[in-house]
Chain A
Amino acid sequence: MAAEDKQVVDFAKIKSTMSDPYKKPIQVIDESGKIVNQELFDRFSDDELVTLMEKMVWERALHEQTMNFSRQGRLGFYAPTYGEEASEMGIASAMKKQDYLFPAYRDLPQLIQHGATVKEGYLWSKGHYQCYDYFREGVRAWIPQIIIGAQYVQAAGAALGIKKNGEKDTVAYAFTGDGGTSQGDFYEGVNFASSFQAPAVFFVQNNGWAISVPRSTQTAAETLAQKGVASGVPGTQVDGMDILATYLVAKDARDFAAAGNGPVLVETLTYRFGAHSSAGDDPSRYRTKEQEKPWFDRDPLIRLRKVLTDKKLWDQDKEDKLVAQYKDEFKQAMKDAEAAPKQKISDFLKHTFEVPTPDVAADIKKFEAKESK
């Protein structure tokens, strides 16, 4: 064959256009506070707009107060949520009580919205078994996953369980970030849910960074929304700094999955304003202030605050009062967390197996003797 023969497949064209259907992030209000989609905006009542704003103010206040506690040395591992309020609260607002939630470690705000308490969140950070008391309360949420990817395969299983149980209007949610989309379990979870046409809603909160590694290193794919396509799962991008758009997309995604159409994948475009965690990560080592600036301009609170202020639904005094009230609640939650009982190794041993093995039983005796002194 001659080298100049015309190619049979135009891979270059496929590559340059394959992401096109996914590159249209949905937006309702832009970063200047301008309503760019009036029809979608009009779907919200004044009360709903105020509630969404209050939730973002709540999450921002939670972050600020939690960072204070962290600086005071009163917490362990904490993953700041600063900047991701629209993404997290937009999605959380579309969840229903009967849904199963599979969060990752940066998703404590959604977990708390779903029924866990702030006290449990603080106990999770500090490292105390009572952090998971919400299981006992019947909250349908699993642990904030540390092994990024595991929550995706588990959510696929829960979604299949929901389907087999015949539970109507119920879905399983899984959250990960841009880094998490590189995990094998991410693909396995999306693909399993698709194979079984199970009601799973997969969220990728693309905040630009996996600790120090930028989104661009994770994949050459132009969007993360398209990552479901190979499994037959529809996806979309949404402006994750716009809570109205995020809520509407999350609701559509939930409705689609709950109606028995199989799973959905949503990529929210957001930004991690702060460090990866409270434990010594310094973003100045890997990104510049110039890179951060445009994202700070997109702060999700700024744009909705402006819209609500223009509509005379919001003012600074109201916001200040709310923040003070929320922070008082968080301070009380921290006091409650700090009053949690001393943990017993014998309890851990008792919860290793339903019926302790001989070695475990011997250890229980040993530790009970120690603990009774």
Chain B
Amino acid sequence: MAKLTYIKAITDGLDQVLQNDPKTLIFGEDVGKNGGVFRTTEGLQDKYGTDRVFDTPLAESGILGMSIGLSLTGWRPIPEIQFMGFTMEAVDSIGGQMSRNRFRSSGDISMPITIRTPFGGGTHTAELHGDSLEGLFIGIPGLRVVTPANPYDAKGMIIAAVENNDPVLFMENLKLYRSMKAEVPEGHYTVPLDKANVVKEGSDITVVAYSAEVNEALKVADKLEKENISVEVIDLRSLSPIDDETIFASIDKTHKVVIAQEAQKMTGAGAKVAADIAEKDIMSLDAPIGRVAAPDSVFPFAMAENDWLPDADDIEDKVREILNY
């Protein structure tokens, strides 16, 4: 097994699906010769040709609308939206069109589209590059929204997403692209799209997190371990649907929960997790649900990002507050 970065793990997964299924197509802005602005598709056009991996005109609604027409004619599109902020231009194609087509056709027509898109703060990008916009999309019936937090999941989930016959919004965290490396198996394997993962077992409190916040939560768990506080960390991986079963199994054991996300508190997946717990498993808690999220302002100017993004300190404070309730 090789140690791969998060981004190389995605490239490796894309290589697998292009190799395994001749109907898969990768397209978007700069994904061809340039290999993507982050190099996620690097080398794929050389290997699979310009018919399978190609650049498009610069228009997000066109890219995703085209994906629908390609699906209808038998293709399996893997479009890239260069930054998640740009999905705003293509909300109809996602919410008004592709996600409704299985329903419209009573199950006859699939839209096996995987929309890859980078997001996430901490890399001091221009405006509308770092926003966590999952909150806009997790309320769309027929659409899966997933985000891996480590290289192993990144490869296994991109393969699973492409092989899935429903549209999947695949969110790739910008900050994680090159900041983490881990063992990634060669060849084909999948990670389920709708299963959360207990990434660290613990018994005193559960932290439910996703994407970059999983690593922040793990830092807290390691630190508190020295104080004999045992923190269980769950990586949601899937933001729609939410894997309640894994969360409930954990809080039935710890009786305390903190939900951490990078998105503003008014959006993101945390509110749905909190609502599910409140609705279906509230009696297993002996303290209120704790939440860690960014404040409800617009995503900040780059120089202020680090003051705005929730980090390990914020999670630690909230964990201590809930433990001492």
A-side residues, CB < 8 A to B, are 100, 102, 129-130, 132-133, 135-136, 142-143, 147, 150, 152-162, 164-165, 172, 184-185, 188-189, 191-192, 195, 347-348, 350-354, 357-360
Contacts and interface: CB of A to CB of B under 8 A. Distances in A.
Contacts, number: 136
A203 B54 CA distance: 28
A133 B106 CA distance: 8
B66 A357 contact: no
A192 B56 contact: yes
A136 B107 CA distance: 10
Contacts of B25: 164
Contact of B108 (A135, A142, A150, A160): A135
B147 to A, nearest CB: 16
Interface string B243-268: 11100000000000000000000000
Residue from the set B102, B106, B141, B240 with the largest chain A CB neighbour count within 10 Å: B106
B166 A354 contact: yes
Given A100-B73, A132-B106, A136-B108, A160 B57 contact: no
Nearest to A151: B65
Given A165-B74, A357-B194, A351 B69 contact: no
Contacts of B65: 150, 152-154, 156-157, 185, 188-189, 192
A360 B141 CA distance: 9
Given A153-B65, A153-B66, A358-B245, A161 B75 contact: yes
Contacts of A354: 102, 107, 110, 164-166
Nearest to A191: B57
B96 A156 contact: no
A154 B108 contact: no
B301 interface: no
Contacts of B273: none
Nearest to B72: A158
Contacts of B92: 147, 150, 185
A161 B71 CA distance: 8
B67 interface: yes
Interface string B99-130: 00011111111100000000000000000000
B61 A160 contact: no
Between B59, B108, B109, B244, the greatest number of chain A beta carbons within 10 A of the residue's beta carbon is seen for B59
A248 B191 CA distance: 55
B241 interface: yes
B51 interface: yes
Contact of B166 (A142, A165, A348, A353): A353
Interface in B109-157: 109-110, 141-142, 144
B74 A157 contact: no
A189 B164 CA distance: 27
Contacts of A132: 104-106, 108
B105 A153 contact: no
B70 A158 contact: yes
B66 A156 contact: yes
